């Protein structure tokens, strides 16, 4: 059986590798000149930056974690997480509910008092069950944590009102904090949240793309880059996939590309499916990369909820992930800015984006502008899935249609789910296991 895999990102390459190891014939069709998708890296003037945002390797999934670490064996640096939230000029321990003792005293009281009041109200049945993401935040954390951090940060990263977002996705991704941990953190007893990422790995050389190259190594000769799909048809039992010049034939066609790129390649897509796909919401991503002479804080990454500090929602320090991503005596800073396609951020020039970020970093005390020796900008059109209130209805309609025509969906933007790297690898693993 020949399987054509649409897309050469992490999901597509992992899927191709596993199918190849099973003995299947595979061909990976990637539109861009280089494979890797959101997990590509660029090396320039001695600095290595990931082009799809800050990536690290961690997972609660032991099988996936073992696989990824095996892929970068001999090229791995393990790190202890030291993550902060920049809040009113304070560096607050992440997650916020585990860093309450770092807050100004009035805010600390506001957060712990409202957390306990909400907990009591919920236990008494006085707090109605939440119906959207914002209500879930209040219901879970109380008014203090919600208004000091959770709502400002989430509305900054999603660029979408939290009361218009579904809450179906939060369990497991945003853990409910144990009440004991919240109280301990408020009185200054050290507590850890999100312990599954408290130790993480990163390739020593090559950025996150080193993981991609390791996964792709056995299947390199089966990857076609520069093959931008324009039409997908089925003739009898054979799929025909065209780029407008050449046709690839396969017994099976699996999609790992965004649904918004898949559906226009198909004939006779029902109007209601097209409408559902058009209603799916997502964010694009701008990464502003800064290389400096001198030091950066001893921080893995830093969340920036304050809108007055600009559009950046997260700052990462890749030279804390690997000692080889910056020249000697230098360090690397990566600022991430989410945005909607076609909005104000999308129209800003690279120079304007770099200026905004460097001014923000100077205001935060992270750098002096005369220390900057390198800067660049990377843009990703598809970055984050947004779960609006109509998401479940729309995605169910599209998935039913793709199931009906016989094109399985694997990975982040094909399944249209907010999957981290480990979730993409798990998606590929599960597909192969269920189709063996």
Distance of CA 64 to the CA centre of its chain: 17
Distance CA 110, CA 246 (A): 64
322: Cα within 13 Å, side-chain hemisphere:
25
User: Residue 427: helix, strand or coil by DSSP?
Assistant: helix
Q: What is the pLDDT of residue 190?
A: 82
Give the pLDDT score at 86: 98
Strands 25-29 and 2-6: parallel
Q: For each of the chain's 436 residues, which pLDDT tens digit applies? A: 899 999 999 999 999 999 999 999 999 999 999 999 999 999 999 999 999 999 999 999 999 999 999 999 999 999 999 999 999 999 999 999 999 999 999 999 999 999 999 999 999 999 999 999 999 999 999 999 999 999 999 999 999 999 999 999 987 667 677 888 888 888 888 876 666 778 999 999 999 999 999 999 999 999 999 999 999 999 999 999 999 999 999 999 999 999 999 999 999 999 999 999 999 999 999 999 999 999 999 999 999 999 999 999 999 999 999 999 999 999 999 999 999 999 999 999 999 999 999 999 999 999 988 999 999 999 999 999 999 999 999 999 999 999 999 999 999 999 999 999 999 999 999 999 998 6
SS (H, E, C) 333-374: EEEEEEECCCCHHHHCCHHHHHHHHHHHHHHCCCCCHHHEEE
For residue 64, the model assigns a pLDDT of 98
Tell me if residue 384 falls in helix, strand or coil.
strand
Give the residue from 382, 359, 367 showing the smallest Cα distance to 312: 359
- For the chain, the domains span 2-36+202-280+388-434, 95-193
Asked whether the whole model's pTM tops 0.75, one would answer: yes
Does the domain spanning 2-36+202-280+388-434 belong to CATH 3.50.50.60? Answer: yes
- Check if the beta carbon of residue 284 is closer than 8 Å to that of residue 420: no
The pLDDT of residue 382 is 97
User: Half-sphere exposure of 357 toward its Cβ, with a 13 Å CA cutoff?
Assistant: 28
Instruction: Please tell me the predicted confidence (pLDDT) of residue 176.
Output: 72
**Which of these, 243, 199, 228, 247, lies nearest to 56 by C-alpha position?**
199
Residue environment code for 112-121, b if the CB has 16+ CB neighbours within 10 A, otherwise e = bebbbebbee
Burial class (CB in 10 A: 0-12, 13-18, 19+), 257: buried
Sign, CA torsion 15/69/31/221: negative
List b or e across 135-164, with b for residues whose CB sees 16 or more CB atoms inside 10 angstroms: bbbbbbbbbbbbbbbbbbbbbbbbbbebeb
């Amino acid at each position: 059986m020949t399987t054509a895999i649409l897309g050469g990102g992490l999901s597509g390459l992992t899927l191709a590798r596993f199918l190849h190891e099973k003995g299947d014939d595979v061909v990976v069709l990637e539109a861009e000149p280089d494979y890797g998708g959101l997990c590509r890296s660029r090396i320039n003037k001695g600095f290595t930056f990931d082009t799809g945002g800050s990536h690290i390797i961690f997972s609660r999934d032991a099988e996936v974690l073992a696989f990824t670490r095996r892929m970068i064996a001999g090229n791995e640096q393990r790190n202890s997480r030291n993550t902060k939230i920049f809040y009113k000029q304070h560096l607050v321990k992440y997650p916020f509910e585990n860093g309450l003792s770092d807050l100004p005293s009035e805010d600390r009281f506001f957060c712990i008092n409202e957390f306990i009041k909400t907990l009591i109200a919920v236990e008494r049945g006085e707090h109605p069950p939440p119906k959207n993401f914002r209500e879930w935040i209040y219901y879970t954390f109380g008014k203090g944590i919600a208004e000091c951090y959770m709502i400002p940060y989430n509305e900054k990263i999603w660029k979408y009102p939290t009361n218009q977002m579904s809450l179906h996705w939060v369990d497991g991704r945003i853990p409910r904090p144990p009440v004991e941990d919240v109280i301990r953190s408020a009185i200054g007893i050290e507590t850890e949240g999100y312990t599954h990422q408290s130790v993480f790995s990163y390739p020593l050389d090559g950025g996150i793309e080193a993981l991609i190259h390791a996964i792709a190594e056995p299947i390199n000769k089966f990857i076609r880059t520069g093959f931008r799909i324009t039409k997908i048809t089925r003739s009898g039992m054979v799929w025909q996939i065209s780029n407008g010049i050449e046709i690839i034939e396969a017994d099976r066609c699996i999609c790992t590309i965004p649904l918004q790129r898949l559906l226009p390649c198909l004939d006779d897509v029902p109007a209601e499916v097209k409408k559902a796909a058009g209603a799916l919401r997502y964010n694009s991503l701008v990464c502003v990369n800064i290389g400096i002479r001198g030091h950066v804080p001893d921080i893995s990454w830093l969340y920036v909820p304050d809108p007055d500090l600009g559009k950046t929602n997260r700052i990462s320090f890749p030279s804390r992930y690997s000692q080889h991503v910056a020249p000697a005596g230098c360090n690397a800073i990566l600022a991430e800015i989410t945005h909607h396609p076609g909005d104000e951020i999308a129209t800003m020039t690279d120079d304007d984006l770099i200026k905004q970020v460097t001014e923000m970093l100077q205001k935060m005390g992270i750098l002096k502008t005369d220390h900057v020796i390198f800067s660049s900008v990377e843009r990703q059109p598809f970055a984050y899935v947004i779960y609006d209130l109509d998401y479940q209805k729309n995605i169910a309609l599209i998935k039913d249609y793709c199931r009906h025509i016989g094109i399985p969906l694997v990975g982040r933007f094909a399944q249209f789910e907010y999957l981290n790297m480990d979730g993409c690898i798990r998606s590929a693993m599960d597909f192969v296991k269920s189709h063996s």
